């Protein structure tokens, strides 16, 4: 029993964090938003880091890592508000295709030439698909109506929900940092607004929600890796906790930014819009609560102090 993200994992995530911080800042989001939302050079950069092959077995040229590693990278994608569909392709479609025994596209995914996203009955739209474009509040999602059939496999939904939860954690963390930074530079009544307890306490409350969403996400990722029968419940828990933290953080962030937060000029809106999108994606809050309800109140899951890791 060791609930610890080891240093190798964190080192990889930090490398990705630094890379995205250096190459994928708000200026890039603005450039993409003014253009056609995508830049092949960004995708190639992710491919060069091996991220498209993170979950692809080594025999197909990938890194062969696991869901906890992928969740940590997905968190960084959220933190950077990454426009490219890395998570949909590499952390959702890849493991699902592997579970179906479908390895045909693996080498092409690793090399960056194939970018599959798989739709689900409950999550019918995909990023960068072949079909008609949809008008999302977050244009950088490049959301499309898929041409092909969609799956109703619960594993696909679980993968999508888990990786959305991980991105939501990163989105929330980024909004917390942006809001704290703004509260330090914006002055009123002769002092930074961050010196006022009314501002401090809102940010602290959001920080609590983020702090206690994180371990739920890591636990869910490990439960899926370990093949626990209860993994879907823990993934639903992660999705609800991360969505709630991100939405609370987004609402706090715009409040702290004041009227500036309502403008296109301040960067916050990119992260807010992604948070709204991912909170509903891969199963709504109500859907995931229902799964928790069936397990916890319905009695499908052992609960109590001695059942922490049931």
Partner 1 sequence: MDLVYTSEQQDFRAEVRAWMDAHVPKEPLDTLECRVGFDEHVVWERTLASGNWGMVTWPEAYGGRGLDLIQWLIFEEEYFRAGGPNRANQNGIFLLGPTIMEFGTPEQKARFLTPMAKGETMWAQAWSEPGAGSDMAAISSKAVRANDSGGDHYVISGQKTWSSRAAFADWGFGIFRTEDGSKRHKGLSFILFDLNSPGITRRPIRQLHGDTGFAELFFDEVRVPVENRIAGEGEGWKVAMATAGFERGLMLRSPGRFQATAKRLVELYREHEAEASPAAREAVMTAWMQAQAYAYNTYAVAAKIMAGGSIGAEASLNKIFWSELDRAMHRTAMQLLGAAAELRRFDDGRMNQWLEGYIFSLSGPIYAGSNEIQRNITAERLLDLPRVGAG
Q: Where along the sequence are the contacts to partner 1 (CB under 8 A)?
A: 1-6, 9, 68, 176, 180, 183-184, 191-192, 194-195, 197, 199-201, 203-205, 207-208, 211-213, 215-216, 218-219, 222-223, 226, 237, 240-241, 289, 292-293, 296-297, 303-309
Number of CB atoms found within 10 A of residue 64's CB: 14
**Beta carbon nearer to partner 1, 147 or 181:** 181
3-state SS of 207-235 is HHHHHHHHHHHHHHHHHHHCCCCCHHHHH
Min CB(71)–partner 1 separation in Å: 10
Gap between the Cα atoms of 205 and 179, Å rounded: 13
**Beta carbon nearer to partner 1, 104 or 309:** 309
Gap between the Cα atoms of 39 and 304, Å rounded: 50
**Beta carbon nearer to partner 1, 33 or 293:** 293
Min CB(162)–partner 1 separation in Å: 14
Min CB(234)–partner 1 separation in Å: 9
Min CB(120)–partner 1 separation in Å: 24
Instruction: Give me 304's structure tokens.
Output: 């109590």
Gap between the Cα atoms of 256 and 265, Å rounded: 15
Q: Decide: 162 and 221 in contact? Cβ < 8 Å.
A: yes
Min CB(107)–partner 1 separation in Å: 29
**Beta carbon nearer to partner 1, 234 or 269:** 234
Min CB(49)–partner 1 separation in Å: 22
| Nearest-5° Cα angle at 66, 296 to 159 | 45
Min CB(226)–partner 1 separation in Å: 7
**Beta carbon nearer to partner 1, 34 or 185:** 185
Gap between the Cα atoms of 254 and 263, Å rounded: 10
Gap between the Cα atoms of 131 and 255, Å rounded: 37
**Beta carbon nearer to partner 1, 23 or 307:** 307
User: Buried (b) or exposed (e) across 160-191, using 16+ Cβ within 10 A?
Assistant: bbbbbbbbbbbbbbbbbebbbebbeeeeeeee
**Beta carbon nearer to partner 1, 42 or 162:** 162
- Four-point Cα dihedral 257, 263, 265, 267, nearest 10: 50
DSSP state of 185: H
Alpha-helix residue ranges (DSSP H) falling in 49-152:
67-79, 86, 94-99, 106-111
Min CB(267)–partner 1 separation in Å: 18
- Four-point Cα dihedral 43, 44, 49, 52, nearest 10: 50
**Beta carbon nearer to partner 1, 22 or 304:** 304
């Amino acid at each position: 029993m060791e609930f610890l993200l080891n240093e190798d994992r964190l080192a990889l995530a930090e490398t990705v964090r630094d890379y995205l911080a250096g190459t994928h800042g708000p200026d890039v989001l603005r450039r993409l938003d003014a253009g056609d939302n995508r830049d092949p050079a960004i995708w190639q950069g992710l491919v060069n880091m091996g991220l498209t092959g993170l979950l692809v077995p080594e025999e197909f040229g990938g890194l062969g890592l696991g869901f906890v590693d992928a969740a940590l990278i997905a968190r960084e994608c959220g933190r950077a508000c990454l426009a490219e569909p890395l998570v949909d392709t590499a952390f959702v479609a890849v493991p699902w295709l592997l579970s179906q025994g479908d390895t045909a596209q693996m080498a092409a995914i690793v090399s960056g030439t194939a970018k599959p996203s798989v739709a689900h009955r409950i999550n019918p739209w995909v990023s960068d698909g072949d079909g008609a474009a949809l008008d999302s509040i977050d244009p950088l999602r490049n959301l499309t109506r898929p041409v092909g059939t969609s799956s109703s496999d619960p594993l696909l939904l679980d993968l999508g929900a888990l990786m959305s939860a991980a991105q939501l954690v990163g989105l929330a963390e980024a909004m917390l940092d942006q809001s704290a930074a703004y509260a330090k530079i914006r002055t009123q009544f002769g002092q930074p607004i961050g010196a006022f307890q009314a501002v401090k306490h809102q940010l602290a409350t959001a920080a609590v929600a983020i702090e206690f969403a994180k371990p739920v996400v890591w636990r869910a990722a490990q439960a899926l890796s370990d093949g626990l029968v209860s993994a879907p419940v823990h993934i639903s828990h992660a999705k609800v906790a991360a969505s709630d933290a991100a939405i609370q953080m987004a609402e706090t962030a715009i409040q702290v930014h004041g009227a500036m937060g309502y403008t296109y000029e301040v960067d916050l809106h990119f992260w807010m819009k992604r948070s709204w999108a991912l909170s509903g994606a891969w199963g709504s809050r109500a859907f995931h609560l229902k799964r928790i309800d069936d397990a916890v109140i319905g009695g499908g899951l052992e609960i109590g102090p001695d059942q922490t890791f049931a």
